[in-house]
Amino acid sequence: MKNIKIALWVIIIGFIFLLLFQNQEVIIAKQSFKLDLMVVDEYHTPELPNGIIYFVCLLTGFFIAVFAGIADRFKFKKNIRNLKIANKLQLEEISALKSRLESLQEVSSEPTEAIIESADIKEPEGLGD
């Protein structure tokens, strides 16, 4: 499996270099951007090769994706923390119910009325009439 991954990455990197080599004129060509806010004079960036501009755009998109992922990660951590607390409370309740069940089973030799009274079970009203 490791060899397949390496081969796949070599093929992908090969295609990227092939794409860059065949489009050298476009990547090496220089371009300048202007910014006109209609308040102050126009601003012109220095002429930069398109390859650098593409790379800056790629990095900008990468950082935007990372920061969006960080926000989601904090939300997920908060949800996990809340679920762990709820799980702990439910496990404590289960252990309390088990201990109560064990105590009721120990008293099972007593008459049924004593078990009902110790379990705080009330008979529904209006059914005995």
Instruction: Give dist(CA 67, CA 40) in Å, integer.
Output: 33
Mean pLDDT (whole number) for 45-71: 90
- Give per-residue pLDDT as tens, 19-36: 888 988 888 889 888 888
According to the model, what pLDDT value does residue 28 have? 87
Instruction: Give dist(CA 56, CA 63) in Å, integer.
Output: 11
According to the model, what pLDDT value does residue 129 have? 44
According to the model, what pLDDT value does residue 124 have? 55
7: confidence class by pLDDT, cuts 50, 70, 90: very high
Phi, psi dihedrals of residue 127, rounded to the nearest 5°: -85, -25
Q: Where are the domains of the chain?
A: 1-29, 32-118
Question: Cβ neighbours of residue 31 under 8 Å, at least 6 residues apart?
Answer: 47, 48, 49, 50, 53
Mean pLDDT (whole number) for 43-47: 85
| Among the listed residues 26, 22, 44, the one whose alpha carbon sits nearest the alpha carbon of residue 35 | 44
**Residue 113 in tokens:** 């009325």
